[in-house]
Structure 1
Amino acid sequence: MGNLMIRPRRLRVSSGVRAMVRENTLDAGDLVFPLFVVPGSRVKNEIPSMPGNYHLSPDMAEEVAREAYEAGIPAVLLFGLPEYKDAEGSSAWDANSPVQQAVRRIKAALPELVVITDVCLCEYTDHGHCGIIKGQKVDNDSTLVRLGQTAISYAEAGADMVAPSDMMDGRVASIRQALDACGFQDISIMSYAAKYASAFYGPFREAADSAPQFGDRRTYQMDPANAREALKEVALDVQEGADIIIVKPAMAYMDIMHQVKTSFRQPVAAYNVSGEFAMVKAAARNGWIDEKRTVLELLTGMKRAGADMIITYHAVDAAKWLRDR
C-alpha cells in the first residue's frame, strides 16, 4: 500500500468516462437569446460590432425566434429601438412600439417559447439615460412610475416575463405592484440585480442606440470594485419580489455569480454581454482562437460559477454546436 499511486487521469481516459464524471453540463435549455427589434417590415440588418446579430422588424424577430426555438433555446429577451424618442421615453409603453408588436407575433406563432422583455427607458429617451431627468440627474421615484407602465404594456402584449435593467432603487417592488394591480400576478420578474457600470457594454449601446447624451450611468449602475454591494442589491430585489436574479456582465464577475448563487435561493442568470461576445468574435475572425471551443468553455465556466441560465448572443450557435456534439 505504501507504493500506491493516486491516478486522477484514470477518469480522463476516454470521452465516455469523462462524460460520466462531468460535474457541470451545458445544454441549449440553459440559454436565452437577446433580439433587437426595430420598426418596419422585412428588416434584418446585421449589427457591425455584433456579427450574427441583427436589427429585426417584428416579423423578422418572429422568424429568428423560431430558429432559436427549433435549436432548443427556451427563451428570447427583447430590446426595442422605437420610432420616436422623448424626454420621458413614452414609446416604451406604446402598444404599437416594435417590442409590443414582436411579442404579439412571437407568442401567437410560438406559444411555448418564453418571451422576456427588457424594462428600461434608455432606448426610448432622447437623452439616453435610464430614467426621468430632473436637472442633470436621473430622478429615481418618478422613473418608477414609467417603468411600471412599461411592464404593464409588455404584459398586455403577452410577455411571459419582464426584466428591469434600469437599476433604480425600489423598481422591482414598484413593477410587482403595478403588474399585480392590473391582474398580471403570473408575470415573472427577472431582475438585473447586480448590474455593473462596465466597459463591456459598448457594442450594445450601438445596437440599441442607447448611449447617454451627457454624463454616464455610474450614479445608478454598480462600481466594478464592489462585491458586498452586489449581495445587498440582490437581497433587496429578492425581498421586493424578484423571481430570477441577473448578474451582468458575466466574464469579469464570476465571483459575484458564485456568491449570489450560494447566498440566495432564487435562480441566477448570467448575462454574457455584447463586449464579451464581440471580443470572442474578433479573435476568432483573426484566427487567434477556436470560436466553438472558446464559447462553450466560457459558457460552461458561467454554469460552474453558479448560473442556472445564460443570456448570450452566442445562443443559437452554441445550441447548434451542443446538438452536434
Structure 2
Amino acid sequence: MFKVLYSSIIMLMAVAVLASCTKTEYDHQKQPYNDIKVFTIAGSYGAPVKGLVKDDTITVYWNPDVAMPATITPEIIISDKAVISPASGTAVSFKDTTTYTVTAEDGSVRKYRLQIALNVPTPVLKSTNNPVPWLNTTQLTIAGEYFLANTDTSQISVYMQRMSDGIEIPLTLIKNRISNYTIVANLPTFSAEQDTGIHRLFVKAGYRIAQSIDVRFVIPAITNATYTSSFVQDGQALRTGDSLQINYALTDNLGGAVSRYYTRNTKEILLYTNAYDIITVSAANIRFVEGAVRFKLPDAGLHKGKDLFQYRMTFNSVLPGGEESSSYSLRGFFVNPTKLAL
C-alpha cells in the first residue's frame, strides 16, 4: 500500500513539473508576426480590388473613370494570432490619412497607411519629325497616346536631354495644339549654346513620364551662313606645284552658331578653266591656316594655256530639309585673267 501511494505521489509531481515547463516554454514562443497579408475592397461594378502591401503602405489603384467612394469596407487577412484595428469588415474613410494598426501576439505593433493611386496609363511616345535640321525646323510634332489621360494641358511638359553632355533643354508647348495623341512644341532659338547630335525626348503628363525616344539633330545647312573669299594668286600665271591660297570667311548672324560646323571642313577644292575643265585638289592636300586654305597646284599639263575663271570650296553639309548630302560647294570667281602656264 505504501509503495502504491509513493508511486502516485511521484507521478503527480512529474505531471506538475511537465505542466510548469510547458507553460514557461509557451510564454517564450508567442508569435511576433504583425503583417497584413491580403487587403481587398469592392472596386468598380463590384469587382474585387486587391491593395498592394509593401513595407508599411497599402496602395490601392483606382480607376479614374469610376467615382471614388467616401468609405470602403476592406476584407483583411493578417498574421496568425495577430489583431488589427480597425477590424476587417469595418467601414473606413477612403483617404490617404486612413491607418491600420496590427498587433502581434507578443505585443509588437506595426502601423500601415492607406495610399490611393489613380490607375492612369503612362503616356506613350511613338514618333516625331526625325532627323531635325536646326534653323530650317522650328517645331517638333510629337505623336503618341494618353497625353491627356486624367490630366489637362497645364500638366504637360516636354524636354530634351542632349546626350553629348546631359544638358536638359525645355521645349515651349503650343497649348491649343495638344491632344491625347499629338503635341506640338517649339524648339528653342538656335544659338551657340545649342548643338547637334542625338537628343533624348521626354514627355511628362502629371507625375508620369513616357519612355523616351531619340531625335537626331543635324547641322544647319551651310546656306544659313554667308561666304566670302578671294584667291591670293588671282591674275598670276600659275605652274604645277605652285603654292596657292584662298582667303575665306564663313559668318552668320547667330554668333558663329552655324559657321562653326564648316570652318576647317573643306572636302575638296575645284578649279574651273574657261573650257569648264576641272582640276581637283583633294582634302589630303589642303592645309588650313587662320582664315585661309593653302594647297599646291596639281599637275594640270592637259590644260596648259587655259585661264581659270572660277574656284569652288566643297563642304560636307546637309540639305535644308535635313537630308544627308555628300557635298555643298561655295563659289568664288577670278577677277583677273589667271593663266595655267605650266
| Larger CA Rg, structure 1 vs 2 | 2
Higher strand share: 2
Answer whether TM exceeds 0.5 for this pair.
no
Q: Under TM normalisation by the shorter chain, which class is it?
A: under 0.3
State the TM-score, normalizing by the size of structure 2.
0.19
Higher relative contact order (CA 8 A, sep 6+): 1
